[in-house]
Amino acid sequence: MKHLRTESKIENCYSVAQEQYASIGVDTTLALRTLKKVALSLHCWQGDDVSGFENSEGELTGGIATTGNYPGKARNIDELRRDLEIAYKLIPGQHRLNLHAMYLDSPKPVERNAIEPAHFTSWVDWAKNGKYGLDMNPSLFSHPLSASGFTLSSYDPAIRHFWVEHCIASRRIGAYFGKSLETPCVTNIWIPDGYKDTPFDRKTPRHLLKESLDTILAEPLDKRHNLDAVEGKLFGIGAESYTTGSHDFYLAYAVEKKILLCMDAGHFHPTESISDKISSTLTFLDEILLHVSRGVRWDSDHVVIQNDDLAAITQEIVRGDFLDRVHIGLDYFDASINRIAAWVVGSRSTLRALLMALLEPATILRQMEMSGDYTARLALLEELKGLPFGAIWDYYCLQNNVPVGVAYMDEIRAYEQAELWKRS
């Protein structure tokens, strides 16, 4: 691709844009400084289509499916880490990695209820070297003991016990991550439990889930090292009629236990947006976790793009002054396109949306609203859409020594030629 924007042109365009934003009371330097502090948690499962490294050839289950067969899927931990490092080089800022338990590093198979920090030491070493934070997720799917469609809410006490042990082990690994890297690890619990058809008894599975969660969270862990989160869902493949861990269930549980609620952008009705739920939940919770995804008619986990839904989410975070209380992770898996590009496009889109929100004249807009001047509020919000946001974003990329514009595709294509196309 041909790129004509030189460093001096980018700086000149930024200078002009900076003046235009200043004329409506926006400090672009402060906006960029604030954005620099945002650490997105990239999801490891985009790089290998949620296969993991358990030495298992099992099929994906639990409502999880990937589509496409683009060349270059990571086949082992070393390849996944190399791919991630390429992605991080092309995303402005310093970011994190979100791991699933099934991505352990072990020369021999380890049952999920027997995983230990020792199986993740190489991840900690890698994260220290790259200055990445780590987050953690127990993996309650794609396993013989999840084949019934129920895990923590199973009627079988042996199955429940197995998955309780797995989640306890995952929390301890999360605490190990946080202590080793000196940044809190968010350990997020999601389960696929539910019924394909309408159940007779909705109550009992939820009582069993609560008992399981109570046991999992019984061990106190230092919040400087580990932050617990629970993630609800409207429905899944094979659980279309009833989901044990619904949003309502987990919202009540998170408030009671004072833990994080995870809201995934694809886990609600297609007409719902999680943006309006952010200020509501943060009225009662100290912090929340967001999984930024893009659903197309359902929880399809498309690559995040800069659309109205993403804009509404990031605006709510910034306008509510919630940046320090919201943990932002990406959650999608697209095997139909270059997997590294999927990370980069989704991350850059999320950061661009956050920057747009940071470039709003918040004080002026809030004063207009409080005084009842809705006409001026509307006019100013519309005027913002024509300001040269792109020049601010390009300058931010330049500041962070990452490619400006779509130039990042040059590096991705070169890596694809040199590495990805050689993978069978």
Euclidean distance between the first and final Cα of the chain, in Å?
Answer: 27
**Cα separation, 419 vs 70, whole angstroms:** 14
**Cα separation, 173 vs 367, whole angstroms:** 47
Alpha carbon 179 to chain centroid, angstroms? 21
CB 403 within 8 A of CB 332: no
pLDDT of amino acid 33: 98
Q: Is a pLDDT exceeding 80 seen at residue 280?
A: yes
pLDDT of amino acid 58: 60
Q: Phi and psi dihedrals of 46, rounded to 5?
A: -65, -30
Alpha carbon 60 to chain centroid, angstroms? 20
Q: Bigger pLDDT: 5 or 383? A: 383
The percent of residues above 70 in pLDDT, for the chain, comes to: 97
DSSP letters of 54-105? SS--PPP-SS-------S----SHHHHHHHHHHHHHTSSS--EEEEEGGG--
**Cα separation, 143 vs 61, whole angstroms:** 8
**Cα separation, 423 vs 270, whole angstroms:** 37
CB 62 within 8 A of CB 142: yes
User: Could you count the other beta carbons within 10 Å of the beta carbon of residue 19?
Assistant: 10
Structure tokens at 268: 């609600």
Q: Sign of dihedral through CA atoms 408, 183, 267, 282? A: negative
Residue 155's contacts (CB-CB under 8 Å, 6 or more residues apart) are 204, 205, 208
**Cα separation, 86 vs 88, whole angstroms:** 6
pTM tops 0.85: yes
CB 186 within 8 A of CB 133: no
**Cα separation, 422 vs 51, whole angstroms:** 19
Identify the band that residue 62 occupies on the pLDDT scale cut at 50, 70 and 90. Answer: low
CB 133 within 8 A of CB 39: yes
pLDDT of amino acid 56: 58
Length of the chain: 424
Q: Is a pLDDT exceeding 90 seen at residue 322?
A: yes
Q: 50: which DSSP letter?
A: T
pLDDT of amino acid 237: 85
pLDDT of amino acid 214: 98
pLDDT digits (tens, 9 = 90+) for 213-256: 999 999 999 999 999 999 999 888 888 999 999 999 999 999 99
pLDDT digits (tens, 9 = 90+) for 101-111: 999 999 999 99
pLDDT of amino acid 2: 47
H/E stretch holding 180 reads helix 157-181
Residue 264's contacts (CB-CB under 8 Å, 6 or more residues apart) are 231, 233, 274, 290, 291, 293, 299, 331
Q: Is a pLDDT exceeding 90 seen at residue 263?
A: yes
pLDDT digits (tens, 9 = 90+) for 86-100: 999 999 999 999 999
- Between vectors from CA 115 to CA 169 and to CA 245, what angle results, nearest 5°? 50
User: Could you count the other beta carbons within 10 Å of the beta carbon of residue 184?
Assistant: 21
Torsion angle, CA of 243/247/248/252, rounded to 10 degrees?
120
**Cα separation, 106 vs 115, whole angstroms:** 10
Give residue 389's identity as a one-letter amino acid code. F
**Cα separation, 150 vs 155, whole angstroms:** 8
Of the candidates 92, 90, 116, the residue with the CA atom closest to the CA atom of residue 105: 116
Q: Is a pLDDT exceeding 80 seen at residue 57?
A: no
H/E stretch holding 263 reads strand 260-264
Active site residues per annotation: 190, 231, 233, 264, 267, 291, 299, 301, 331
Q: 294: which DSSP letter?
A: B
SS3 label, residue 273:
coil
Q: Is a pLDDT exceeding 70 seen at residue 129?
A: yes
Domains of the chain: 1-26+361-424 (no CATH), 38-358 (3.20.20.150)
Structure tokens at 21: 């934003």
pLDDT digits (tens, 9 = 90+) for 1-56: 445 568 999 999 999 999 999 999 999 999 999 999 999 999 999 999 999 998 75
**Cα separation, 181 vs 163, whole angstroms:** 27
